[in-house]
Amino acid sequence: MESGFMGLVRAAEYLDMSERWMSRESSKHGIPRYYFGRKVKFKVSDLDRWARQQKVS
């Protein structure tokens, strides 16, 4: 599922964040989101890229 999409719950688990945080903060923190009708989805490759950008040296 590397290039696939996942819903809010799975994306939150993937990043080890709460569902509430993902829902509320994802756009604020620049995590790309996609809407399919009323459902928000996250692309695994986008989550990986965003996580790498959060690295603190």
Q: Where are the domains of the chain?
A: 5-53
Task: Kindly state the percentage of the chain with pLDDT values over 90.
Answer: 74
Please indicate whether residue 1 or residue 46 has the higher confidence score (pLDDT): 46
pTM: 0.84
Confidence check: pLDDT of 2 > 60: no
Instruction: Give the pLDDT score at 3.
Output: 60
Measured in degrees and rounded to the nearest 5, phi and psi for residue 9 equal -65, -50
Contacts of 47 (CB under 8 A, 6+ apart): 11, 14, 15, 31
Identify the band that residue 27 occupies on the pLDDT scale cut at 50, 70 and 90. Answer: confident
**What mean pLDDT is reported for the chain?**
91
Helix (H) or strand (E) holding 42: strand 39-43
